[in-house]
Structure 1
Amino acid sequence: MQFTDKEISTIDKVVTSFAPNTELAVAKLVEGDSQYYGTRCGAHGAEPVENHSSVFEIGSLTKLMTSSVLAQMVCEGKVMLDEPINSKLDIPILDNKQITFGSLATHTSGLPRLPPGLLWQALFKRRHNPYEAYLRDDLLHHLAHTIKLGKTNKMHYSNLGAGMLGYVLSELEGCSYTDQIQNRLFKPLNMRYSFTNWRDVAGELVIGIGKNGEPTNNWDLGVLQGAGAVLSCVKDLVQYAHVQFEQTSPWVKLQQQIAFEKGLEKVALGWFVLGSKSKNDLLYFHDGGTGGYSSAMLLDMDSQSGYIILSNISGLHKLKGQKVTKLGFELMRTLKGF
């Protein structure tokens, strides 16, 4: 159950390959029990640090929580997965196309990865906070006049779609995304150090580090909060994992059902699903990255085992990118004996 020497060495190797003050917080779950390991790149290599309650941006792990809200609302009869969003709200879509709630949670809506113009914002005008100025009116204008939907029978990862899902669900309940996720997830699950705005963080907020080793700005997600606005700690995310493991709530069972499958691609509501149940290697997975942070969550629901990793490693690294994701899979292979 404890972190093995091999696991610690593997984790420390990653943290010391980045700039000083780079930090990793890791939760290990085995048969539902959890242990924590934290490490920081110091002057003389990896230094242990107690950071299981320290707060990081979790990036696209937010999409899991947005999908949890969707699953709850489906179970309450407020929406249906195959129901078009414009049957509930007056949201004009170019060419009178339809976008269903379920397609937004499974990246099968045909929406592009990013809103029009946002890549330019990210590269030039708002490099340090690219989503900040993308607001409700921008989203509605682009849907009505600019965005042409692609194929809906294939998976195409979309930050725009996940962010739009968060917006639509909160509009339906007449509240902000912040209030909705606090009331539906953070408070019921006792996730005391989880937030949707870095300004609200209570406790230690770990400073993000850019791809050149410099401190970075925290991100504001504008109208697309549902795609990546959450800040949290590994201790809180373990609470979320426990609910996923227990599968006692109808919404959890719904969220974990395979909603789209084509070839090797399997997607549940928010989750990417890898492996095969018949081979006993089914793995639920998501990762995330922002300008100063990257994260990963890998859970084996049957054995109630897995890892949650948060870091202040920039998700924008080109050469070293995805190291946190690769670390998660390496740890998982060791745990499972693959």
Structure 2
Amino acid sequence: MLCLFFFACKEKRQENGLWEEKEETREKVAVPASFTADSARQLAVKLDSVFKHFHKRRGFNGTVLVTKYDQVIYKNAFGMADFYRRDSLTVNTAFQLASVSKQFTAMAIMMLKEDGKLSYEDSVQQYFPAFPYHGITIRQLLTHQSGLSNYTYFSDKLWPDRNKNLTNQDVVNLMVQHQPKPYFKPNTRFDYSNTGYSLLASIVEKVSEKPFATFLRERIFEPLEMKHTFTYSPDVATLTGKIATGHTRFRQKRTSDYLDTVLGDKGIYSTVEDLYKWDQALYTQKLVKRETLHEAFTGTRQEKRKDEDYGFGWRIKPLENGDTAVYHGGLWHGFSSYLLRNPKEHSALIILSNLPNGSFSYLQELRHFLYPVHPDSVAKLSKQGKLAARL
């Protein structure tokens, strides 16, 4: 049996907004006797075999990092950062995170809530008085229960110049001016909403009186030493170095368009190693108190599905072995991303790709392998033809 240990300790907020973290406040995990240096090496060898198979046979192109009990067990890079230039990927290559960005937007909101600058029950009108849709709260934006239509669809019809970048404020202005019809009344049901998270980023800007990108950099990326993490700007397209290029499934380079400059629902670039730093910070109280973070990992859906729920920027899913994982995936303009955390054993699976060719279809197999129901599950999966004797 694994168990988590918590230590209570009073902390104080520092000038930079972070909590002064003490080692005894870090969430601890008991490491079972079966997890040894030798077993970790064996797992790494198996994972290397699996991902080499996925790269060679299924076309996986990207980077991966796997942890267990807070330790990095395996990390590697496969394929090209840019197929035209033939630049090889490394674990320090930054990828567009797509919707994995949402968990950072949610964290920004939670930090401002702890600062006493907003409430989850605030209405959107408190920040944008002309906003035409009433009865929508910050909480409903966080949990995808606003009912708002998708800005990526209505902007295609309403934005006059596709050569001009769309901003978060432009999204608000389009909604005020044209009032695209919502999908349903707020707080009725769950409907995944990019519009909601773009509005949350706009609220962060209003409340903090800083650009959203600046808030993330000053309050999250720099304090956690996520040195290869940043938000999208038009300049990204001209940068060279350790930044992956998005591709179509046929390895054609994806170009940026007017929607890329809307942040909050997407737009963060990061590396697997920086995301490991982010994962580890969530076992501390560096950013927000543990009680605040707990709500982000608590299901909110009114219509319950057996296999999934949603918190604040995180999907919540039971694993095959009975543990509960929090995770998110993303897909945007040639990039695919996936970050899964199993808090019970402090493990994580982080995968970034710049070739969305369907190779992420192996994720269920990986979850079965990493979180087997029984010790002999791997053998059973092999007999069923899964993981293809890569073990």
TMscore range, shorter length: 0.7 to 0.9
1:135 and 1:222 in contact (8 A); partners too: no
2:180 corresponds to 1:147: yes
Number of residue pairs the alignment of both structures matches: 315
Residue range with higher mean Cα deviation, 32-41 or 76-85: 32-41
- Of 47, 56, 79, which aligns to 1:7? 47
Q: Could you report, residue by residue, the CA deviation over 1:273-309 in whole angstroms, capped at 9, with x for unpaired residues?
A: 01289x7420101011111211001111111112010
- What is the rounded CA distance, in whole Å, between the counterparts of 2:222 and 2:143 in structure 1? 26
Q: Residues 121 and 146 from structure 1, CA distance in 2 versus in 1: closer, same or farther, beyond 3 angstroms?
A: closer
2:247 aligned residue? 209
2:133 corresponds to 1:100: no
Residue range with higher mean Cα deviation, 285-294 or 206-215: 206-215
Q: Could you report, residue by residue, the CA deviation over 1:177-201 in whole angstroms, capped at 9, with x for unpaired residues?
A: 1101101110111100011125356
2:113 corresponds to 1:78: no
1:26 aligned residue? 64
Kindly report the root-mean-square deviation, in angstroms, between the aligned alpha carbons of the 2 structures. 3.0
1:263 aligned residue? 304
Stretches of structure 2 lacking an aligned partner (at least 5 in a row) = 1-39, 82-87, 374-391
Aligned-pair CA distance for 1:174:
1.0
- Of 195, 199, 202, which aligns to 1:160? 195
Matched to 2:304, the amino acid is G
- Is the partner of 1:253 in helix, strand or coil? helix
- What is the rounded CA distance, in whole Å, between the counterparts of 2:365 and 2:156 in structure 1? 31
Matched to 1:266, the amino acid is D
- Is the partner of 1:72 in helix, strand or coil? helix
Q: Residues 173 and 41 from structure 1, CA distance in 2 versus in 1: closer, same or farther, beyond 3 angstroms?
A: closer
TM-score (norm. length: structure 2): 0.72
Aligned-pair CA distance for 1:227:
0.8
Say which one has the larger Rg: 2
- What is the rounded CA distance, in whole Å, between the counterparts of 1:97 and 1:203 in structure 2? 46
Matched to 2:311, the amino acid is A
- What is the rounded CA distance, in whole Å, between the counterparts of 1:137 and 1:4 in structure 2? 47
1:113 aligned residue? 150
Q: Could you report, residue by residue, the CA deviation over 1:37-81 in whole angstroms, capped at 9, with x for unpaired residues?
A: 211279xxxxxx772211111111111100011111112221111
Aligned-pair CA distance for 1:103:
1.1
1:62 and 1:227 in contact (8 A); partners too: yes
Give percent identity, aligned residues only.
20
1:253 aligned residue? 294
Matched to 2:181, the amino acid is K
2:231 aligned residue? 196
Residue range with higher mean Cα deviation, 24-33 or 109-118: 109-118
- Of 208, 216, 239, which aligns to 2:277? 239
Matched to 2:147, the amino acid is G
2:339 corresponds to 1:297: yes
Q: Could you report, residue by residue, the CA deviation over 1:186-238 in whole angstroms, capped at 9, with x for unpaired residues?
A: 01111000111253568511222112211222466466301111111011111
- Is the partner of 1:228 in helix, strand or coil? coil
1:40 aligned residue? 79
1:52 aligned residue? 91
Matched to 2:175, the amino acid is H
2:321 corresponds to 1:283: no
1:93 and 1:143 in contact (8 A); partners too: yes
Aligned-pair CA distance for 1:120:
6.1
Q: Residues 332 and 246 from structure 1, CA distance in 2 versus in 1: closer, same or farther, beyond 3 angstroms?
A: farther
2:66 and 2:349 in contact (8 A); partners too: yes
2:166 and 2:262 in contact (8 A); partners too: no
Matched to 2:276, the amino acid is V
- What is the rounded CA distance, in whole Å, between the counterparts of 2:155 and 2:56 in structure 1? 33
Residue range with higher mean Cα deviation, 3-12 or 100-109: 3-12
1:226 aligned residue? 264
Matched to 1:272, the amino acid is R
Stretches of structure 1 lacking an aligned partner (at least 5 in a row) = 43-48, 315-319
1:317 aligned residue? none
TM-score (norm. length: structure 1): 0.82
Q: Residues 162 and 112 from structure 1, CA distance in 2 versus in 1: closer, same or farther, beyond 3 angstroms?
A: same
Matched to 2:169, the amino acid is R
- What is the rounded CA distance, in whole Å, between the counterparts of 1:194 and 1:297 in structure 2? 15
Aligned-pair CA distance for 1:138:
4.2
